[in-house]
Structure 1
Amino acid sequence: MCLAFVCVHPAFAADKNTSMPIPQANQPVGNQIVLKPGSPQLTSLKIEPVTEIPVPVTEPLNGKIVFDENRTARVYSPVAGRALNIQAQVGDSVKAGQTLLVMDSPDVGAAVADVRKAQADLALKQQALERSRMLLEGGVVARKEMEVAQADWASSRAEYERAIARLKNLRVSAGASDRYVVRSPIAGVVVDRKVNPGSEVRPDAADPLFLITDPSHVWASIDLPERDLSRISQGQKLSVQVDAYPDDVFEGEIKTIGVMVDPATRRIPVRCLLDSKGKLKPEMYARITPLDTSQHRVIRVPNSALITEGLYSYVFVEEQPLHFSKRKVALDLQRREYATVKSGLTAGERIVTVGAILLNSDLSVSK
């Protein structure tokens, strides 16, 4: 008796009507794998198109998003007093000149009183000057008396102008009481407040009462390592990425480079203009990559897409939906988070950026 044993690949099962196998699971064949619709592996895969970028000149640098100081105001009170009524809260949008805080200020009362006193003194000295001029014309007093009266009038006028200038600086009228209104110097959003009802307010306080900025405009700040200084220049383009939006790349350019190296950290402060697309927030940490000034572009893939076997690197390319092929690529430069590809891929092709190891395991098991 002759017994025949047939070994059937687990990816196939015999059809009752034909001798051809029918697919029952994922089918790894050679360097290709076809996933079955609804396969559990699909939930672990992330497939993205290959993109071209300008050539980076350094590793991504650590930086953070900061306020655009040209559109930011730190509001202090120029007089001492006590907070009575707070009319702006954190997150409120305010207009230039809008009331933020009403306070009771003896300094304002004293400034108003100085104006009234100087005004009364000036009127008295004006009368004395006119009287001395009349007496001089009548030959009753000597010219010296009129000159003294004129000097007194000039002194009183200077004091009156000083008192008025003080009120003008405070934006307070001469008929005001001891109430003082703190107003917003710019339009923007209140992002911080350091005053509460009843708080004592001082003009020499360390912290501003309000911090107001335009959140649609931000800067990026880099503490540049000294070794990378020769690779950047003013006006150079750069790309910015943040954890909050991992799929977005924000564009910017270097605006200013510090004039000295910090002696403690050996780093140089660099300030960059940034197109935040209304998404970035001050104090976010960022990865900032200066770009080559040439027009040359390279293909970039994340390191999570790469399969390394010996001296060679591979990626899984989606040839068609659910159909993936393992393809060898030549790397130009590999950095901490991504690599640039010299050959093997073209822009627009879709590759597996997350889950490539899982597909490679399926191929290894089938061989």
Structure 2
Amino acid sequence: MKTIYIPVVATLLLTVGCSSGGNKKAEEVNEVRAEVISIEPEVNDEVITDAATSATSLAKDVTFNGTFVLSPQRHASVTLSIDGIVKNISLLPGQYVRKGELLATLENPEFINLQHNYLDAAAQCDYLEAEYKRQELLSREAAASQKKFQQSKADYLSMKSRKEAAAAQLSIFGVSTQALQTNGISPLLEVYAPISGYISNLQMNLGRHISAGEPLCEIIDKNNTLIKLMAYEKDLGKIKIGHRIEFRVNGMGDEMFEGEIISVGQAVDNVNRSLEVYAKVMENNELFRPGMYINARIVQK
């Protein structure tokens, strides 16, 4: 507390009344000893907020605004590289599915042709392989011409390549060639969940035509929720990987949660001079949702 000494002077002016013969004036000045006045300096705890980025800054604490986000490994878009018409579906938005679970079946004649091409190539490949080995044996015994041997070898390798190409195409759709050879051609393309999580942005319904590359739905895994924070470049020296943070979530009252900074952005926005900071949530909550707003601060050690 700063003490300021201020001299206070009191002047007393007295006027005395006059008689008929003249006026008499008297003035008395008294100096009063300086009084000690104690002044408490004003503390300003105002939070400065950037209207463009919502990044915030305090004189003492480094604070941020941000949202919950998902890492790319925890957010899957279910798409196909082939057209199809939805024949069966049993999903609802927000429904939990496990990795490998059947999501829907689609119909497309081209998918049937792919299976036929593989089975045909596989059958011919077996025959041409046997013929190639026979011609190779005859060639060693000089009972057959080298020309026939070379032709059989070329036919076999060409068909083997066709078989492998067909198998690669089917693997994109999750079709096992071993199961195909055992069970035969399937009329419907089955779509399975690539990860475990909750269904979001569902775009399928019975009878709808889905174009190649068009998302059927999205799956979000909230087990490892991240926080994306916006910070000022002037606070960069106070932000380190490994720093602990405390944060509140909009709509969840004053309850405090903990996190840890795991990544600091390397690019500063040229307009608002802010950068992205990512933190992991130390303990997940079922109420957390991607996109929810939060307010966080670095825990001072």
1:256-267 equivalences under 5 Å are: 256-267=263-274
Letter in 2 for 1:288: A
Residues 184 and 247 of structure 1: CA distance in aligned 2, closer, same or farther (over 3 Å): same
Choose which of 261, 276, 285 in structure 1 pairs with 2:284: 276
Question: Which residue of 205, 224, 228 corresponds with 2:231?
Answer: 224
Q: Tell me which residue corresponds to 1:155.
A: 158
Aligned: 1:177 with 2:177: no
The alpha-carbon distance between structure 1 residues 167 and 160, as it changes in their structure 2 partners (threshold 3 A), is same
**1:73, CA displacement in angstroms?**
2.1
- In structure 1, stretches of 5+ residues that fail to align are 1-54, 295-367
Residue 129 of structure 2: aligned partner: 126
Distance 1:210 1:190 in 2: 7
Greater Rg, structure 1 or structure 2? 2
Task: Give 1:84 shift.
Answer: 1.5
Aligned-residue sequence identity (percent) comes to: 25
User: Is contact 1:56–1:290 with CA below 8 Å preserved after alignment?
Assistant: no
CA distance in structure 2 between the partners assigned to 1:135 and 1:216 by the alignment: 64
* Residues 126 and 215 of structure 1, relative CA distance in 2, 3 Å threshold: closer
Within 5 Å, give how 1:39-78 maps onto structure 2: 58-78=61-81
Q: Distance in 1 between matches of 2:104 and 2:59?
A: 49
Partner of 1:289: 297
Distance 2:118 2:210 in 1: 24
CA contact (8 A) 1:73 1:185 kept: yes
TM-score (norm 2): 0.70
Q: How many residues align?
A: 237
In 1, Cα distance between the equivalents of 2:59 and 2:135? 84
Q: Which whole-Å CA distance do the structure 2 matches of 1:265 and 1:209 have between them?
A: 37
**Gap change, CA 1:277 and 1:133, over 3 Å in 2:** closer
Counterpart CA distance in 2 for 1:134 and 1:243 is 78
Once the 2 structures are TM-superposed, how far is the Cα of residue 94 of structure 1 from its aligned partner? 1.1
1:195 aligned counterpart, secondary structure: coil
Query: Does the 8 Å contact 1:56/1:291 carry over to 2?
Result: no
Higher strand fraction: Structure 1 or Structure 2? 1
Do 2:62 and 2:238's aligned partners in 1 also have CA atoms closer than 8 Å? Answer: no
Residue among 241, 247, 264 paired with 1:240: 247
Could you report, residue by residue, the CA deviation over 1:263-290 in whole angstroms, capped at 9, with x for unpaired residues? Answer: 3443211111013333322111111112
Structure 2: gaps (5+ residues): 1-57
CA distance in 2, matches of 1:72, 1:203: 20
* Residue 151 of structure 1: how far off its partner (Å): 2.2
Which of residues 90, 94, 100 is equivalent to 2:93?
Answer: 90
Question: In 2, distance between residues paired with 1:57 and 1:193?
Answer: 46
Distance 1:57 1:70 in 2: 36
Shift of residue 180 of structure 1? 0.7
Q: List, as ranges, runs of 4+ consecutive aligned residues in structure 1 with deviation greater than 4 Å.
A: 137-140
Deviation of 1:148 after TM superposition, in Å, equals 2.3
CA distance in 2, matches of 1:276, 1:56: 31
Report Cα offsets for 1:33-89 as digits up to 9, x if no partner.
xxxxxxxxxxxxxxxxxxxxxx99535311111224443322212322111112221
RMSD between superposed Cα atoms in Å: 2.4
- Is the 1:96–1:187 contact (alpha carbons within 8 Å) kept by the matching residues of 2? yes
Question: Equivalent residue for 1:4?
Answer: none
Check whether the contact 1:192–1:211 (CA below 8 A) recurs between aligned residues.
Answer: yes
Give 1:160 shift.
1.1
Q: Is the 8 A contact 1:80 1:202 kept in 2?
A: yes
Which residue does 1:203 correspond to in 2? 212
Aligned partners of 1:216 and 1:278 also within 8 Å: no
The AA in structure 1 aligned to 2:257 is: F
For 1:215, the aligned partner's letter is K
Aligned equivalents of 1:189, 1:227: Cα separation in 2: 39
Q: TM-score, normalised by structure 1?
A: 0.59
